[in-house]
């Protein structure tokens, strides 16, 4: 299970979030909307961009589909999820 808390940093014009897992692990991330349907960001340690270890993209395909893709720090795709509303 994962919990997220996020806010908008008006100085930087970006969203910043904190993800906490039930085992106590956590990460922080910074992201922004790069198009009407795409949100892109970087996962890092303690909001320090130089520690980025994963880049991600979240795309709203339509009201019933959502795609999540992760890339390692070198930009190589490492994970893809497709979420589809069933009912």
Express each pLDDT in 26-73 by its tens digit: 999 999 999 999 999 999 999 999 999 999 999 999 999 999 999 999
d(CA 55, CA 51): 11
Contacts of 17 (CB under 8 A, 6+ apart): 4, 5, 6, 7, 28, 29, 30, 31, 41
Q: The tokens of 79 are what?
A: 């994970």
Parse the chain into domains and list their residue ranges: 2-73
The verdict on pTM exceeding 0.85 is yes
Express each pLDDT in 20-32 by its tens digit: 999 999 999 999 9
């Amino acid at each position: 299970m994962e919990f997220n808390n996020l806010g908008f940093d008006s100085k930087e014009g970006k969203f910043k979030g904190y993800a906490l897992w039930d085992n106590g692990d956590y990460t922080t991330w910074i992201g922004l909307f790069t198009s009407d349907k795409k949100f892109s960001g970087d996962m890092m340690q303690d909001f320090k961009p130089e520690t980025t270890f994963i880049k991600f993209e979240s795309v709203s395909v339509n009201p019933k589909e959502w795609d999540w893709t992760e890339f390692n720090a070198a930009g190589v795709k490492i994970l893809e999820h497709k979420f589809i509303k069933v009912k």
